[in-house]
Amino acid sequence: AFKAAILIQQWYRRYVARLEMRRRCTWRIFQSIEYACEQDQIKLHNFFSYLIEHFTPSSSKERDFISRMFISGESFKEAELEKYCDYESMEVPDSYTGPRLSFPLLPDHATALLEAFKQKQQLHARYVLNLLHETRKHLKQLPNISHVSTCYSEEVTVCGDLHGQLDDLFLIFYKNGLPSPSKSYVFNGDFVDRGKQSLEILIVLFTFLLIYPKEVHLNRGNHEDHMVNLRYGFTKEVMQKYKVHGKKILKMIQNVFCWLPLATLIDQKVLIIHGGISDTTDLDMLEKIHRNKFISVLRGKKRKESNRNVEIQEINGESKVEADPAGNEAAPSLSSQPQPAQAPSMANRLEFSKWVRQTVQEQIEWCRRLADISESEEEELTSSSVVSLTDLDGPRWTRQEEWKQILDILWSDPMPQEGCIVNTVRGGGCYFGPDVTGKILEKYNLQFLIRSHECKPEGYEFCHNRKVLTIFSASNYYEIGSNRGAYVKLGPDLVPHFVQYQANKMAHTLTMTQRQGFLVALISRVEESAFRALREKLFAHTSALISAFKAYDKDNTGRITLSNWATAVESVLHLGLPWRMLRPQLVRSTADGMLEYKSWLDDLAMEQRSQEHIQSSLLEVIYRNRSNLETIFRIIDRDHSGLISFEEFHQTWKLFSSHMNIELTDDGINDLVRSIDFNKDGNIDFNEFLEAFRLVKQSQ
Amino acid sequence: MANLVDVRALMFPWMQDEESQPRLRASLGPRLLCLYRWHHDRAVAEIEKKIIEAFEVFDHECHKTVDVREVGSIVRSLGCFPTEAELHELLAKVEEEEPTGYIHLEKFLPVMTKVLLDRRYRPIPEDVLLHAFEALDENKCGYITKEELVKYLTEEGEPFTQEEMEDMLSTALDPETNTVRYRDYISMMIVDES
């Protein structure tokens, strides 16, 4: 019996260990895909910005396109904003049964809203816009860094990412109580995207912000950014819920996000930021910059600091310039724009590139000027403001430096090693080590940092010797059962107390005896999800994978070893996943340790065909400008042949890489081109181009 | 891995341990030796990659260390079925002189490579498992009562903790009869594995 018992125990423990391994692998898959996506999007955005900057417009239509593509994210001048997002003329029909807001808001309005959202009601667009206007007015008065003191409200509750998961917010309020004069809250960014109720979360948070302005504090997160929202679902959510007024709402929200404070300080001892810090983080700078200039933190990378004085004079001289370049409706009057000379014939490439460079310079200047005007939202082009611009006291920083401060705050992640390196996984911000943390804490006499930005299985996690706390409030973020959410409470002693939760009725009512059965089922389901996502990614890189496999199959047998398969896959996808562990789930049949890779890829393709997925992360950004498809097409089709060749795509790409000093794989762009080229004739004609967008549109 | 074993079995059936290598060198041509070495190295390289992968899954901070309590999971997910005693033996080899609670990859890798090369802690085949359950089923009626199973697994062998016992029961126990129908249970678990 002893032997028998041992055997059973032995076997059983192995089973449990395997489960644990599966759980962790699944987690890693989700995480790596999530970050890879973010990185893709930033890369592509940079690519298009660069493309636009260096494109020489040959017609007024294209000039309009440039200004709109680059500047459409900019803030309106105050008056234009009010006019465009006017709500007062909006009628609310009597049939509307949802909450009706009146300003100034009262606690009753908040409870009414919470009730309404629990009943899945929708707030009328008029009230949404009204709320957004009032929120913006309020936020404008706030400093970049909010200050909270525990001597007024004994305890402060800090919540992390919510990502549109309204149920989690309800849970937090249920467990912890609503905001009130005796209950302070700090919400540390990333309220929107991914979850399906991002707008409701914003409405609730803004409402409480206006009712209890001293007790409720919001920090900006990297997802409080319309460029990111385009990709991660918030834009779509708003447009779906508000078909008529969605655009206005989004425009207002853009102008609210840029006014969100960047950080919060508790008792001058605990710094709360969304992402993290870098070795150049400077709180003094952060306090002083004009945070609203950065509507999207994804922009502004390429701008070099120009000679401000020169520009100012030029602005002065062009008093006739229509100061509304951001107009979606009206095309800006671009009479000041330098006309490009006739392009020299294509025969002489050298001449051409010289001419390009010249005109490009002029275009850049022009773009920049335009953008600067639109951004100085409050400043009217009068001589007095010009004087104030030149009459500067205190330290001045380049726009580049200011931008980097904000980028680091919103996008960085901590790492265990010392130092500070570029965060290549996300494509923005840094990885900062314990030494960086130590320096910042010492410099500003702080006790520790609280940040969010990364999902953690238990909802919170310490690192850097308990000097950095990550708090994440969206439970079941990747899948049901993937992780808990948490919030942290700080009293005057600044000792953190955590409360964890999981917003899923099933997980909640589980008894001990059911735990493992549930766990197994859960892991299987989450795993399924993860592997589906992974197979999609593999499929999206089909052509790159084939080349990689062929490199290991010099004799062209059609087969490679499983070991080489793993190495090849990692070299293409760069996800850092344990491929050998995952192989059994990804590769169904092998013959004596070898894989027939073509049929494997065909199987993958068959799976994907039903979903008509084409590199959606890349194309969606293009799709954003679908109204200008023709122009985009022509931007890429340099020789104006009516066809985009692989060559042209490559050239543009190479130009980009060399100028931007950014690593871009040939494979990524190859994949994109090949997937668009339906008839596989080596070129993309305009029809194929359109077809690609039609499919993207279908999948939305 | 299969390649390595085949080569060894085919070419050197008399060779059971590494000490016979010198004999080997003397008796067989250098070409065969090369071939053997090449296969061996490749297999070792592949094994090492597998081990590193598994290790890294549990290495949160990318410090090339894992918590000592995770070593069991790592070893098991590499296909081994050690008993707790065997696991402790292994740990003794990979721990630091002054146990810090962490195991370093550089110590773990060679030890684990050898474990896999030697094919130690082999999986328990289904029929052996079945026999084990049958041994506990005194009346040979096809099931074990909850009380009996709990007694055996928490008192005999390398006892389960209460948590482990409850976990197992949650999937193994038939709540209506309060028994474990072990044949069904085994089949279900085996399917789950694949």
What's residue A365's pLDDT? 46
Helical residues (DSSP H) of A444-514, grouped into ranges = 505-508
- What band does A390 get if pLDDT is binned at 50, 70 and 90? very low
The per-residue pLDDT for range B40-71, each reduced to its tens digit, is 787 788 888 889 988 888 876 677 888 888 88
| Model confidence at A388: pLDDT above 60 | no
- What band does A630 get if pLDDT is binned at 50, 70 and 90? low
Distance CA A110, CA A266 (A): 26
Closest B-chain CA to A585 = B194
List A109, A217, A223, A453, catalytic entry: A223
- What band does A672 get if pLDDT is binned at 50, 70 and 90? low
The per-residue pLDDT for range A345-370, each reduced to its tens digit, is 333 444 444 444 444 444 444 444 43
Judged by CB atoms closer than 8 Å, whether chains meet at A1 and B169 is answered as no
Helical residues (DSSP H) of chain B, grouped into ranges = 2-11, 21-27, 30-58, 71-77, 84-94, 105-117, 126-136, 146-155, 162-172, 182-193
**Is residue B77 within 8 Å of residue B39, measured between CB atoms?**
no
Structure-token match 């983080």, residue found: A281
pTM of the model: 0.55
| Cβ-proximal residues to B33 (8 Å cutoff; 6+ apart), any chain | B24, B25
The per-residue pLDDT for range B5-41, each reduced to its tens digit, is 444 444 544 544 444 455 544 555 677 777 777 777 8
Residue that wins the pLDDT comparison between A252 and A657:
A252
What class is the A514-610 domain? mainly alpha
In A, which residues are within 8 Å of B83 by CB distance?
6, 9-10
Radius of gyration of chain A (CA): 27
| Model confidence at B186: pLDDT above 90 | no
Distance CA A124, CA A127 (A): 6
Model ipTM over 0.90: no
Catalytic status, residue A217: no
3-state secondary structure A333-385: CCCCCCCCCCCCCCCCHHHHHHHHHHHHHHHHHHHHHHHHHHHCCCCCCCHHH
| All CATH 1.10.238.10 domain ranges in chain A, comma separated | 514-610, 614-696
What's residue A8's pLDDT? 85
- What SS3 class is residue A233? coil
Facing A6 at nearest CB: one of B62, B77, B158 = B158
| Fold of the domain built from segment(s) A72-92+101-300+397-501 | Purple Acid Phosphatase; chain A, domain 2 (3.60.21)
The per-residue pLDDT for range A266-311, each reduced to its tens digit, is 999 999 999 999 999 999 999 988 888 888 776 533 332 222 322 3
The CATH code of the domain at A614-696 is 1.10.238.10
Residue that wins the pLDDT comparison between A2 and A324:
A2
**Is residue A188 within 8 Å of residue A158, measured between CB atoms?**
yes
Judged by CB atoms closer than 8 Å, whether chains meet at A4 and B170 is answered as no
In B, which residues are within 8 Å of A594 by CB distance?
none
Which residues numbered 154-193 in B keep a CB inside 8 Å of some CB on A?
A: 156-160, 164, 166-171, 173, 189, 192-193
What is the distance in angstroms between the Cα of B193 and the nearest Cα belonging to chain A?
8
Q: Mean pLDDT lowest for which of A205-209, A213-217, B11-15?
A: B11-15
In B, which residues are within 8 Å of A416 by CB distance?
61-63
Q: What are phi and psi of A559, to 5 degrees?
A: -125, 150
